[in-house]
């Protein structure tokens, strides 16, 4: 059977393209690097409030309001701006007791009022806790530390992640007897929010309350692909 001339021409045109594609296959190495940056916390968040008991709800509310005004005045005196104080919880709850022959009955009421406070100078935290308790605060919990400028810490962690990936790639390339070429791709594979690191804490003493700040850490991971020669 005679092959049409256009078929031969098509095959001839395709063969150089196939050969070119095979010659363009790249030899690559892909490495993941990890980096961490550490810093001392500079911001504190805490929940502070009062709890008052009285025979009636109105009396408990009046006592709670009085105590809470003292708490707010203390925070203002300590230099905490209004924008950093937010009511977190307010509740009025009956209190019950059980007596023989009478069953369960209401014995009084409890009013709780709590605010969340953001303190932008952690060195004042110990003195603030002491002042709040002196002012009548009987509920303090949930102290958390953070870093105000976490973005700068993340930039440092990313730089260390890239350097870690490069060091690993150099090690593998040397062991394999090849050299690294151009970077073909860089991809961030995840980063961590600041987390506490409890080693070697720094103590801040102010008033009667010692505070251990510790350090916070943030991590980053990158995956980099190199051409190898």
68 vs 21, more confident:
68
Same domain? For 36 and 47 the reply is no
> Quick one: pLDDT band at residue 202, thresholds 50, 70, 90?
very low
Q: How far is CA 160 from CA 111, 164, 218, in A?
A: 51, 6, 11
For the cut 90, the answer to whether the pLDDT of residue 108 exceeds it is yes
Same domain? For 163 and 223 the reply is yes
Provide mean pLDDT across the span 190-217: 61
How many other CB atoms sit within 10 Å of the CB of residue 209? Answer: 17
Identify the weakest region by mean pLDDT among 94-98, 180-184, 213-217: 213-217
How many other CB atoms sit within 10 Å of the CB of residue 226? Answer: 24
Provide mean pLDDT across the span 214-227: 92
Q: The pTM is what?
A: 0.65
Same domain? For 100 and 86 the reply is yes
How is residue 207 written in tokens?
Answer: 């008033």
Amino acid 195: pLDDT: 55
For the cut 50, the answer to whether the pLDDT of residue 6 exceeds it is no
For the cut 80, the answer to whether the pLDDT of residue 221 exceeds it is yes
> Quick one: pLDDT band at residue 12, thresholds 50, 70, 90?
very low
Same domain? For 123 and 173 the reply is no
Most confident of 2-6, 108-112, 189-193: 108-112
Q: Tell me if 216 is assigned to some domain.
A: yes
Q: At which of 146, 172, 189 does a domain end?
A: 146
Q: Tell me if 200 is assigned to some domain.
A: yes
Q: How far is CA 176 from CA 29, 82, 180, 228, in A?
A: 11, 62, 11, 10
For the cut 50, the answer to whether the pLDDT of residue 105 exceeds it is yes
Q: At which of 103, 129, 146 does a domain end?
A: 146
Where residue 182 sits, what CATH number does that domain have? 3.30.110.170
CB 147 within 8 A of CB 43: yes
CB 46 within 8 A of CB 114: no
Domains held by the chain: number? 2
Expressed as residue numbers, the domain containing 183 is 26-40+150-228
Q: At which of 115, 146, 177 does a domain end?
A: 146
Q: How much is the mean pLDDT over the chain?
A: 83
- How do strand 103-119 and strand 43-54 relate by DSSP bridges? antiparallel
DSSP 93-107: EEEEEEETTTEEEEE
Quick: pLDDT tens for 157-167. Answer: 999 999 999 99
Percent of the chain with pLDDT over 70: 81
How many other CB atoms sit within 10 Å of the CB of residue 86? Answer: 10
How many other CB atoms sit within 10 Å of the CB of residue 122? Answer: 19
Most confident of 16-25, 61-70, 148-157: 61-70
Q: Tell me if 15 is assigned to some domain.
A: no
Same domain? For 114 and 155 the reply is no
Same domain? For 141 and 156 the reply is no
Q: Tell me if 112 is assigned to some domain.
A: yes
Q: Tell me if 19 is assigned to some domain.
A: no
Where residue 88 sits, what CATH number does that domain have? 3.30.70.2970
DSSP state of 45: E
Same domain? For 176 and 136 the reply is no
Residue count of the chain, please give it. 229
For the cut 60, the answer to whether the pLDDT of residue 14 exceeds it is no
Taking the chain, what is the end-to-end CA distance rounded to the nearest angstrom? 48
How is residue 93 written in tokens?
Answer: 């709850």
For the cut 60, the answer to whether the pLDDT of residue 171 exceeds it is yes
Same domain? For 103 and 51 the reply is yes
**How wide is the angle at C-alpha 88 spanned by C-alphas 55 and 119, nearest 5°?**
120
- How do strand 180-191 and strand 195-197 relate by DSSP bridges? unpaired
Amino acid 13: pLDDT: 44
CB 185 within 8 A of CB 225: yes
Quick: pLDDT tens for 67-87. Answer: 999 999 999 999 999 999 999
**Quick one: how far is CA 89 from the chain centroid?**
23
Q: Tell me if 108 is assigned to some domain.
A: yes
Provide mean pLDDT across the span 218-228: 95
């Amino acid at each position: 059977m005679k092959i049409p001339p256009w078929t031969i021409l098509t095959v001839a045109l395709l063969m150089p393209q196939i050969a070119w594609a095979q010659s363009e296959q790249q030899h690559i190495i892909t490495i993941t690097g990890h980096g961490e940056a550490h810093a001392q916390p500079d911001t504190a968040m805490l929940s502070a409030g009062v709890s008052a008991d009285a025979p009636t709800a109105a009396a408990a509310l009046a006592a709670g309001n009085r105590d809470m005004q003292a708490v707010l005045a203390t925070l203002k005196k300590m230099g905490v701006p209004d924008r950093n104080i937010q009511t977190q919880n307010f509740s009025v709850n009956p209190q019950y007791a059980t007596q023989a022959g009478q069953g369960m009955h209401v014995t009084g009421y409890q009013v709780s009022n709590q605010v969340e406070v953001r303190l932008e100078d952690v060195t004042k935290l110990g003195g603030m806790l002491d002042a709040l308790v002196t002012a009548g605060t009987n509920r303090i919990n949930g102290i958390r530390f953070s870093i105000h400028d976490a973005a700068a810490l993340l930039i440092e962690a990313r730089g260390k992640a890239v350097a870690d990936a490069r060091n690993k790639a150099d090690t593998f390339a040397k062991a394999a007897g090849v050299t690294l070429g151009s970077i073909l791709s860089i991809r961030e594979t995840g980063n961590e929010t600041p987390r506490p690191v409890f080693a070697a804490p720094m103590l801040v003493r102010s008033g009667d309350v010692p505070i251990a700040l510790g350090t916070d850490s943030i991590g980053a991971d990158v995956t980099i692909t190199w051409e190898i020669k």
